[in-house]
Amino acid sequence: MQTARVEPDVAHALQLAVDLIGTFVFALSGALLAVRKDLDAFGVAALSLAAGMGGGMLRDVLIGAVPPVALVDARYVIGALAAAAVGFVSHHQLERLGPAVRLFDAAGLAFFAVAGAAKASAAELPAFAAVGMGVVTAVGGGILRDVLADELPLVLRREIYAVAALLGAGVVAGAYALGQYGPVAAAVGIALTFLVRLVALRRNWNAPTAPQPPD
Amino acid sequence: MQTARVEPDVAHALQLAVDLIGTFVFALSGALLAVRKDLDAFGVAALSLAAGMGGGMLRDVLIGAVPPVALVDARYVIGALAAAAVGFVSHHQLERLGPAVRLFDAAGLAFFAVAGAAKASAAELPAFAAVGMGVVTAVGGGILRDVLADELPLVLRREIYAVAALLGAGVVAGAYALGQYGPVAAAVGIALTFLVRLVALRRNWNAPTAPQPPD
Amino acid sequence: MQTARVEPDVAHALQLAVDLIGTFVFALSGALLAVRKDLDAFGVAALSLAAGMGGGMLRDVLIGAVPPVALVDARYVIGALAAAAVGFVSHHQLERLGPAVRLFDAAGLAFFAVAGAAKASAAELPAFAAVGMGVVTAVGGGILRDVLADELPLVLRREIYAVAALLGAGVVAGAYALGQYGPVAAAVGIALTFLVRLVALRRNWNAPTAPQPPD
């Protein structure tokens, strides 16, 4: 476990900060979906908590780190509920801030992918599983949000999204396997996921769908 | 763990009894939904098990109490399957017993909220997480039931339901934090959840939805 | 735990082989559903992984065997992703191979039911829970696949499917309870599930639905 403490205190504080930013941003996406589905205040809070904390909790259960950190450190719940309150009150303004929200969402995706892969690597899972846990952390909350809202999960049909998370998680797991994980590898993973996601958004890239036979 | 044994044997037996009543009542809600969705006998059993045992199993996985008690003590499965059988055979009569079923459902909600918060507190989770686990125990089974039935979970759009569970779980977690948890706190938590739920039903209270902007 | 090692090396290798076959076949069902729902390449991979590995991962989390074997042994992921690739490229041909796919699916069901019940029994869960874990292993992946695809799970409404898994898991759990589990009991359980499923398919057997009242 102590091999996980490769980052100095400043980087650790930075990671906690962006972990909480990721929680807030994803929770906001849950609040906005709940308002669009005309759910009540509890439904808004529930979808915010699910979107903001679901991916990390699923990762923690799968790697055996129970109780999940979101049940031990209250700041995750506070961040998710703050997003629920903001979304509940200001959804109308937020919907017009679409581009800004997508920027934050890409940042959340990047940080969650890297944080998830790093935590799984520190728990001594093999590299392929650490990559998987990075993706689960990054997209799990959004999938849970959509399943609870009775919708086909956005990540399963949308543009390059999980693939961007996969790249960042791969950088982390690869660096761990080589004994080179540290702030540089984390920063590279975060930047890679963030940039791929932004370029995919701007250029409207999509993952391919299955080839159809000629009629 | 031994701090959880603050209740004497009589109270412990009482809690087991109402835990099983809660399982039965929630399982019945699963059976009735399955019949309405025209599922076959296995589907009725599956939704009964999910509704009756899902919330407690999710709580146990999250707090690290695995295998969940419902996989160790056969009475939970027996209670849920008995409800499935009753619902399968008598669904027509039960649908006309709506008010009685809602009374039992409110009792199940109250006992599950208190039992969940007490178990999480005994496992030394912080108070905010114990409250969350009380709500998860109380509403988790119903959410799983609805997700499996491909419906938007009732608890996300209906009247004051999870909020009632939140109040009872809050009483328990608060009492634990003050070192005062015992039969009295449990009874207060159960009564509070039960009464708030019943009043909300009778007066048709709803949680607020997000304010809409003027057109 | 050592009581689980009743099978010689050959049988162990055989079980791993069929476990992987089951993963592949179920993952193929996920890929085909994803293509039908017009999901992109990531969605195809996600539903394949969910269908092929979801049941076993859920079982492992519930019995406390974390991280799940599918996160430790890369062959499960490789098998599921291979199925995703085959389904992505060859879905048109595969849809015409319906009967062959159903044969493999029945085999996967049989092996997963037996493997799940055996693993839960080896973890010293009581017999009823081992049967439940056999069914969860066998049908959990398919349920997760359908929930993610925003569909009512097939297993909840279709012909005799989970019941066939229940029978095979019951044979294993019963043999364990009697201290007689070994290759013979495993083979009987697999054959029983496989045959019941095939006969149900051929004769179009269905589980009964709830009796309707006279109008």
User: Is the Cβ pair A156, C72 closer than 8 Å?
Assistant: no
* pLDDT for C213: 64
**Looking at beta carbons, which residues of chain A come within 8 Å of C42?**
155-156, 161-163, 207
Is pLDDT at B214 greater than 90 in this prediction?
Answer: no
Task: Write out the residues of chain B at the interface with chain C, using a CB-CB cutoff of 8 A.
Answer: 34-35, 37-44, 46-47, 57, 61, 66-68, 71-72, 74, 77, 87-89, 91-92, 147-150
Q: Are B55 and B134 in contact (CB under 8 A)?
A: no
List Cα–Cα distances, B104 to A170, B18, B26, B99, B169, in angstroms. Answer: 51, 11, 9, 9, 18
* pLDDT for B144: 94
Residues of chain C with pLDDT under 50: 1-7
pLDDT in tens, B47-101: 999 999 999 999 999 999 999 999 999 999 999 999 999 999 988 887 777 677 7
Q: Are C38 and C95 in contact (CB under 8 A)?
A: no
Q: Are A162 and C42 in contact (CB under 8 A)?
A: yes
Nearest to A128 among C40, C74, C89 (CB): C74
**Looking at beta carbons, which residues of chain C come within 8 Å of B89?**
210-211
Least confident of B9-13, B140-144, B156-160, B191-195: B9-13
User: Is the Cβ pair B47, C128 closer than 8 Å?
Assistant: no
* pLDDT for A3: 45
Residue A99 CB burial class (10 angstroms; 0-12, 13-18, ≥19):
exposed
* pLDDT for B2: 39
* pLDDT for B6: 47
3-state DSSP assignment of residue A69: helix
| ∠ CA B16-B112-B3, rounded to 5° | 65
Q: How far out from the chain centre does Cα B45 lie?
A: 18
Mutate to test the interface with A, among C35, C71, C147 (most CBs of A within 10 A): C71
**Looking at beta carbons, which residues of chain A come within 8 Å of C71?**
62-63, 125-126, 129, 132-133
User: Is the Cβ pair C62, B68 closer than 8 Å?
Assistant: yes
- Paired with B40 in beta bridges are C209
Q: What is the mean pLDDT of each run of 10 residues along chain A (215 residues)?
A: 49 72 90 89 93 95 94 95 94 75 83 92 94 95 92 81 94 94 91 94 78 64
Q: What is the residue type of A93?
A: Q
The model's pTM is 0.89
Query: φ, ψ for residue C45 (rounded to 5)?
Result: -65, -40
How many helices (H) and strands (E) in chain B? 7, 0
Closest C-alpha to A128, from B176, C173, C105, C49: C49
* pLDDT for A14: 65
Q: What is the DSSP string of A95-128?
A: HHTHHHHHHHHHHHHHHHHHHHHHHHHHTT--HH
**Looking at beta carbons, which residues of chain A come within 8 Å of B152?**
37, 149-150
ipTM of the complex: 0.85
CB contact set of B151 (below 8 Å; sequence gap of 6+): A150, B33
* Interior/surface letters C13-39, b for 16+ CB within 10 angstroms, e for the rest: ebbeebbbebbbbbbbbbbbbbbebeb
Compute the distance between CA of residue C1 and CA of residue A202 in angstroms, rounded to an integer. Answer: 54
* Interior/surface letters A132-144, b for 16+ CB within 10 angstroms, e for the rest: bbbbbbbbbbbbb
How many helices (H) and strands (E) in chain A? 7, 0
Compute the distance between CA of residue A203 and CA of residue B11 in angstroms, rounded to an integer. Answer: 64
Closest C-alpha to B121, from B86, B156, B168, B172: B172
Closest C-alpha to C90, from B176, A210, B47: A210
CB contact set of A64 (below 8 Å; sequence gap of 6+): A123, C66, C67
Closest C-alpha to A167, from A95, A86, A90, A106: A106
**Looking at beta carbons, which residues of chain A come within 8 Å of C74?**
126, 128-129
Is pLDDT at B183 greater than 50 in this prediction?
Answer: yes
User: Is the Cβ pair C41, A123 closer than 8 Å?
Assistant: no
* pLDDT for C169: 97
Closest C-alpha to B209, from A38, A90, A94: A38
